[in-house]
């Protein structure tokens, strides 16, 4: 018994090492592949415009131009756009996480007639192309007087969204049922269970949803383009589209600098939130 465990441990260690070596051999070309466009963007963000346009392309900036970031963010009011994007994204994250978690809880643990039917409806909205509803939605927003406000970019999402409702439901279903029953017997209300028992246990899934929702909102270009009219309400992606030239040369170095600067919040969120992402997403069951 003891010897077999020993042998197993040794074998396991060796195969583990093998795996790591193989893994790294594969990861490096992949890394280069992923990095090529990204590296080009980085390099451009630190180059002069003349150097960006040079052929053959230089792989490293020469000389390094640090002022692109400052110039890019002051050239258009990108500081303001940044704050606008942040505001929209945060409002959307709060509203969407709240309602998706409530709906997820309902689907995971509450019994009601029509539950399964409604769940199928929720899932099938994932298949609905946005283009189907885009135009009538626009007319509705107009009737509600929401054009040129942030409402069309936030409130419709307060429904939770199929994907996130699904994620929450999956997560809540992994929490042992006995907890719910015990809480009910202790006289805890359904909302009490959600708020006092479920939410504290749900840090991974809340973080996961928040990261993903933030990112969706942060990158949205079409919504702000169609719904916003005032320059002062514009968001980062819309500002970036504005940055281009129609038939002259666009300031690529500044565009790249702003793009990279704008990617910092979602990158930080991902970097620090990834351990939640990895434990929060549970799709592998029915």
Sites for another protein among residues 35-74 (CB under 8 A): 35-38, 40-41, 49-50, 53, 55-57, 71, 74
Rounded Cα–Cα distance for residues 81 and 234 (Å):
6
* 124 is a site residue for another protein (CB under 8 A): yes
Per CB under 8 A, 135 contacts another protein: yes
CB of 64 to another protein, least distance (A): 18
Interacting residue with another protein among 46, 69, 97, 103 (CB under 8 A)? 103
To another protein, the closest distance from the beta carbon of 82 in angstroms equals: 11
Of 54 and 64, CB closest to another protein: 54
**CA nearest to 191, candidates 94, 95, 115, 110:** 110
* 90 is an interface residue for another protein by CB under 8 A: no
Residues counted in the chain: 286
Among 75, 183, 188, 261, binds another protein (CB under 8 A): 75
**Is residue 199 a contact point for another protein (CB under 8 A)?**
no
Residue 141: φ, ψ to 5°:
-60, -40
For another protein, which residue of 6, 10, 18, 60 counts as binding (CB under 8 A)?
A: 18
Please say whether the beta carbons of 262 and 236 come within 8 A: yes
Judged by CB under 8 A, which of 15, 64, 67, 182 binds another protein? 15
Angle ∠(104,197,206) on CA atoms, nearest 5? 50
Write down the least CB distance from residue 267 to another protein, Å. Answer: 6
Can you tell me the distance from the alpha carbon of 219 to that of 197, in angstroms, rounded to the nearest whole number? 34
Radius of gyration (C-alpha) of the chain in whole angstroms: 24
Dist. CA 51–CA 150, nearest whole Å: 39
From candidates 29, 63, 136, 200, binder to another protein by CB under 8 A: 136
Question: Going by C-beta distance under 8 Å and a sequence separation of 6 or more, which residues neighbour residue 136?
Answer: none
Secondary structure (3-state) at 64: coil
DSSP letter at 282? -
Long-range contacts of 151-155 (CB under 8 A, 24+ apart): 152/223, 152/227, 153/88, 153/92, 153/217, 153/220, 153/223, 153/224, 153/227, 154/88, 154/91, 154/92, 154/95, 155/95
Q: Determine, following the binding rule CB under 8 A, whether residue 127 of this chain makes contact with another protein.
A: yes
201 scored as a contact of another protein (CB under 8 A): no
DSSP state of 232: G
> Where in 213-252 is the site for another protein (CB under 8 A)?
215, 218-219, 221-222, 225-226, 229-234, 236-238, 240-252
Q: 28 vs 64, which CB is nearer to another protein?
A: 28
How many residues in the shown chain lie near another protein by CB under 8 A? 146
Residue number, 64 or 184, with CB nearest to another protein = 184
14 scored as a contact of another protein (CB under 8 A)? no
User: Which residues, 158 to 197, sit near another protein by CB under 8 A?
Assistant: 158-160, 165, 173-174, 176-177, 181, 190-191, 194
């Amino acid at each position: 018994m003891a010897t077999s465990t020993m042998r197993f441990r040794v074998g396991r260690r060796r195969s583990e090492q093998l795996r790591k070596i193989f893994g790294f051999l594969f990861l490096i070309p992949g890394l280069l592949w992923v990095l090529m466009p990204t590296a080009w963007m980085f390099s451009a963000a630190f180059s002069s415009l003349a150097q960006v346009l040079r052929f053959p392309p230089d792989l490293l900036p020469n000389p390094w131009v640090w002022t692109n970031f400052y110039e890019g963010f002051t050239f258009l009011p990108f500081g303001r756009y940044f704050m606008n994007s942040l505001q929209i994204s945060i409002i959307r994250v709060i509203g969407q996480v709240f309602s998706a978690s409530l709906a997820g809880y309902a689907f995971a643990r509450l019994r009601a007639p029509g539950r399964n039917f409604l769940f199928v409806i929720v899932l099938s909205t994932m298949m609905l192309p946005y283009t189907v509803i885009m135009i009538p939605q626009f007319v509705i927003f107009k009737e509600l007087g929401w054009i040129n406000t942030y409402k069309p970019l936030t409130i419709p999402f307060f429904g939770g969204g199929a994907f996130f409702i699904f994620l929450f439901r999956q997560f809540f279903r992994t929490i042992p049922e006995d907890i719910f029953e015990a809480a009910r017997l202790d006289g805890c209300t359904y909302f009490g269970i959600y708020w006092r028992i479920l939410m504290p246990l749900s840090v991974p899934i809340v973080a996961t949803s928040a990261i993903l929702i933030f990112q969706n909102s942060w990158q949205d270009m079409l919504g702000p383009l169609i719904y916003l009219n005032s320059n002062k309400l514009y968001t980062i992606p819309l500002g970036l589209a504005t940055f281009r030239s129609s038939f002259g040369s666009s300031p690529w170095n500044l565009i790249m600098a702003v793009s990279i600067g704008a990617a910092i919040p979602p990158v930080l969120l991902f970097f620090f939130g990834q351990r939640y992402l990895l434990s929060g997403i549970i799709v592998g069951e029915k």
